[in-house]
A and B are shown apart, each in its own frame.
Chain A
């Protein structure tokens, strides 16, 4: 078994199993936890829980006007690398084929050249996010190992993917194997660190919105 066989076989399979186990474990543990019944009377004229949840999710897509200027970099840069990652993951044909092979789901994709450009922009954006974290006193103060490790495992697949399509530094099969292994590390870490926000971000924002709406906030 060569490195690529290992990456495409045991490594990615175990990584996916760990990711799925971890995600469902954490999600079910949270969703089935239950909550104490809210005995307060809802404010008149407030939307129902679902409407409030959706409103809050939409509202938090942009910063509050009070903080818009101060948060302009985080807001803009955050959108760039999140959308960039989505385009690279879901817009590149070989990536979709990975998903299709597992689930049977497929959709039209972008020209490879477009994805390469988006990948490069995403890489720069992620690098800028780290610079910001290191140079901003507040961000640096509140950052821990989880933040830095999550950044590393996120940027590694982007770097290794670009290196693989560019055939830089080694034979393609080696670069592809390294790329897949970097994704395996990302998948394994995903449920256990801050990257889990990928699954919780809308749940937590929606829950907060429903909770606050009942009180007229």
Chain B
């Protein structure tokens, strides 16, 4: 855990020149919409940064977030920064197990009290005493609250940690909640996505290392630098939306011509993420570019928004049953009203 080398020295060991590092800091700075002077300060501070202790807790999740980060196109500077942090506890990546790793977590918490960062992926089950997910005999809730007690900040990686995600989807059998629902006395940074973009996570960690503070967040606790704009506004298919050219299936003329995917349920207009600008796998592509509409995975409750293939302008819920019932009731009420009126008229004529 103890490593006195700075990030600059570690990168130099990996053959990364100072020039390349400054370029990376400038790129990161521009990505996060920082002023040029701040980007230079970021480069300087990042180079001087000491190894950051990170405790990574995995709760109700699929390990997709870890997969996305560790399998990102490499080797890149993001990987090296990820390597640079002292990952003191991580179920998927740790070599040891059992009591030894729990001791390592406690040791990291004690040694870096008030300075370590807790990264969480997965939601926390609260139903039935939280028995649906445990580690080392402790519920996720107990582990989380014990670990974050002396943390500097908490980063919720992935939509499950940030908003409850798929475990929280209806009917939410485990009573899953997000990290932000439980941790109220520490800064909680949400980096949602299913999985999140690796650069959004490493960028946020780099910001924390450089400035020792939380980046500017939106109303859902997401760094504005990565979640400040909706996908629709930055989508390369946007011109087709304006022209009224839509794919109506996944194998029609519109799909083959790369037209807008709004009609097949794309949630780009209501989803805030950097997919359309940063893309995935080293900027190769993103879901819409691959021909599938955005699922809105970086938004709360994306699983329960009425269906991935239902257009945003369509109603959701039991519309047909409700309207059908109303039609029947209206017709009966109308006929009854007419019958009553005719009866009255007939009575008046007789009278």
Contact = CB atoms under 8 A, between A and B. Distances in A.
A172 B230 contact: yes
A112 B276 CA distance: 22
B15 to A, nearest CB: 44
B318 interface: yes
Contact of B270 (A10, A17, A26, A176): A176
B334 A32 contact: yes
A203 to B, nearest CB: 14
Interface stretch (B26-34, B90-98, B184-192, B236-244): B236-244
B334 A17 contact: no
Determine chain B's interface SS by DSSP, over half rule: helix
Interface string B301-331: 1000110001111111111101101110111
B280 interface: no
B16 to A, nearest CB: 39
B341 A29 contact: yes
B244 A28 contact: no
A111 B242 contact: yes
Contacts of A18: 326
Contacts of B342: 32-34
Contacts of A100: 314
B339 interface: yes
A97 B263 contact: yes
Interface residues of A, number: 47
B306 A172 contact: no
A159 interface: no
A10 B319 CA distance: 9
A5 B303 CA distance: 12
B337 interface: yes
Contacts of B232: 172
Contacts of B333: 21, 24-25, 28-29
B314 A8 contact: yes
B311 A13 contact: no
Given A8-B306, A102-B319, A109-B244, A20 B338 contact: no
A97 B338 CA distance: 36
Contact of B316 (A5, A29, A171): A5
A178 B176 CA distance: 30
Contacts of A9: 306, 315-317
A117 B246 CA distance: 20
B100 interface: no
Contacts of B314: 8, 97-98, 100-102
A217 to B, nearest CB: 26
Contact of A101 (B300, B311, B337, B339): B311
B269 interface: yes
6 contacts: A28-B333, A31-B334, A93-B262, A94-B313, A173-B270, A176-B312
Given A93-B262, A172-B230, 6 more contacts: A8-B316, A16-B322, A29-B333, A31-B338, A112-B242, A112-B244
